[in-house]
Amino acid sequence: MESGRETPETTASSLPDELALPVEGRQRALTLRALLIALVATWLCGYWIRQAEIVALACQITESVPAIPGIAGLLVLLGLNVGLRRTGILRPLTLGELLLIFVFVTVGTTMFGCGIVRFLIASLSAPFYYSSPTAPLEELTPYLPFWLVPEDANILKGLYEGSPTGTVPWDVWLVPMLCWAGFFLLFGFTLLCLIVLVSRRWVEGERLIFPLVRLPLQIVHEESAAEPFFRNKFAWYGMGFALLLNAINMVRGVYFGGPSGGLRVDLGPALTEHPWRAMRPFTAHFRPELIGLGYLVSTEMSFSIWFFFLLTKFEAMAMSMAGLRLANAPFAQEQSIGGYLCLGAILLWNARADFWGAYRRWGRAREEGESYLAAPPWALIGAICGFVAICALCRLAGMSWLLAAAYFGILTIVGLVYARLRAETGVPLVWMFPYGMQHKVIRNFLGTRRMAWFGMPSLTMFTLLGFLSRGYFPTVSGYQLEALRLGQVTRTPRRDTMVTLMAAIGVGALLAFYFHLTPYYARGGVGLRGGIWGSSTAQSEYAGLLRSLQLPTPPDGPRIIATVSGAGMIALLTTLRAQWFACPFHPLGYAMATAYGDLIWAPFLLVWTCKILLLRYGGSKLYLRALPMFLGFALGHFVVAGAIWGSLGAALGGPFLRWGVWFG
């Protein structure tokens, strides 16, 4: 697939000098002090996340991209560095150390999020707690292996109602915790090896711009930039506007019952007549972080996002006019998963030379002057062996080889495409994938009648692992790719970056279990404001499995057609861009618009309009001058709405919980 075209904005935003840091030669960044600081920071953030997200449900600070704890930690360390530099007591942290700590805390705290361990705990416990005569979920529990799920129903009941002593039965949870941490490490390693294999082509060959890498680089550029970020008046204009906007939203939310999460306009009430009502729901969301960081997205990408979203709405209207009134038509999510799978196939085909090059370097020493991102042979072996090991682990748990390979193949492809989205577009959303479709697409194509051939143990494990398609663990690939890019910029040894990423996943998974289980058993999940996130969805999925055995269904024809048409649309757009240089339609824009268009179309329409005007009347000079203002707008929103307001809600509760802030 072709990378983004060179336009005035992409040329301006990809100048090598802008990413240059004052470092010479390879520098060790994963020092003992950096590792200790990262571990302590992640532990401390765990208490913050536990209160803000699990107990009080004041703010989902781990959903943001980058994760707010990582940004907060980076800002605190920069302030600490200033003090160390002035006092001379200790040597200040190097740029490489600062950025590796940022990567560790960001990835580690992402594991705490509602879309990873919180979904997992709900999937593990739901069949034990929610069993009833109408939905006897306890029939499924014998098929859940003891080393993945505590088998004592009373132990799992304590998750929801609290334990008699208020303490966690760690002896029962220890083995499942270690097994799931190992599973996340294995899957994360497989994704990382795949990212290493394709990174050189994307960075050096296609010269993708990595928009989200700019935020931490702008923050740490205090010594190297011609005009440091925090001394730029436009950056403070952006942060000031974010403060003002959030203050208005806070007052509206607390005193006047305003909307949570920011500004939104519901256009549905205006669409009441046929055929316009077929376009509902139709809402315009204006998220500050999407507007601020969306400024880094190219104009053709922004245009494609809002154009294809509106196209799906007109598809729904056209189908209604034709008398095809199907629920959820035109099946945008199904179109999206078809597009993602086609994009993944194209990306893998384009990277075939990199795979072959890694194989040919087997047994050869690293050559002098070889590219930092050159794929080593172990990355190819690691990707293959990691994928086989995941399937073997699933088989050991009772899942069919074929079903495991198909499911994790789809998950891996979606993770690869998501990394491409982050590198080329920089859309700051962990949920930028077709929600749950990695799981549902198999069921749509086979139908529950044919899936019954796999057997009950296999289908039970398949249902349990559905949290991976509803959650966002595969999107860790985006952080992995950006961390490799940061390592290249700071001349950090790739080994340091990879060890940091894997350690962050493992430590983050274990700490996430600890900071979830302790409040659940102390207070009872049902008594917390946030409950046990995802438990009702997990319950319905297990109940759906039982219903499918009683009432088997054939393959879902309309959804299959939508999936195939989504893949065909991506193939058409890719071919069109290869033949027509000025083509304004980007395949990634179509994939994103059909995956999560409801949330992103309005911010990118606004940003697209602003950038068109800036580039038209001020050129790349004005575009770059306005860049700190938009980054400041996003950073200000993260600090005010996420760090400050989220902390107030977590600590004080009461009126501070009337206005919740979500970043997903």
- The vertex-543 CA angle with 461 and 169, nearest 5°, equals 60
In a domain, 630, yes or no: yes
| Band of pLDDT at residue 87, cut at 50, 70 and 90 | confident
- pLDDT tens digit string along 133-176? 888 999 999 999 999 999 888 899 999 999 988 899 999 999 99
**Is 4 domain-assigned?**
no
- Cα–Cα distance for residue pair 598/399, rounded to 1 Å: 35
The verdict on residue 7 lying in a domain is no
At 18 the pLDDT is 43
Please give the tally of structural domains in the chain. Answer: 1
Q: How confident is the model at residue 262 (pLDDT cuts 50, 70, 90)?
A: low
Q: Residue 364 has what pLDDT? A: 67
Q: Quickly tell me which residue has 């904005």 as its tokens.
A: 9
Is residue 433 in a domain? yes
Please return the burial class of 662, using the count of CB atoms within 10 Å of its CB with bins 0-12, 13-18 and 19+.
Answer: middle
Percentage of residues in the chain with pLDDT exceeding 90? 56
Q: Is the peptide bond before 275 cis (omega within 30 degrees of 0)?
A: yes
Q: CA-CA distance, 66 to 107, in Å (whole number)?
A: 9
Compute the Cα dihedral for 496, 499, 505, 508 and give only its sign.
negative
Residue 664 lies in a domain: no
* pTM for this model (two decimals): 0.93
How many angstroms separate the CA atoms of 429 and 475, rounded?
9
pLDDT of residue 2: 53
Q: What are the φ/ψ torsions at residue 556 (nearest 5 degrees)?
A: -90, 100
Task: Dump pLDDT digits (tens) for 534-557.
Answer: 889 999 999 999 998 888 899 999
Q: Is-contact 635 71, C-beta < 8 A?
A: yes
Range of the domain at 222: 18-657
User: What's the average model confidence in pLDDT over 238-245?
Assistant: 92
C-alpha closest to that of 112 among 63, 169, 174: 63
Q: What local confidence, expressed as pLDDT, does residue 371 receive?
A: 67
Residues 400 and 391: their CA atoms lie apart, in Å, by 9
Instruction: Identify whether 296 is part of a domain.
Output: yes
Average of per-residue pLDDT across 6-27: 47
Find the farthest-apart pair of alpha carbons in the chain and give their distance in angstroms, rounded: 76
pLDDT tens digits, residue range 248-258?
A: 888 877 777 65
Neighbouring-strand partners of residue 283: 266
Q: Is residue 10 part of a domain?
A: no
Please report whether residue 8 resides in a domain: no
pLDDT value at residue 36: 96
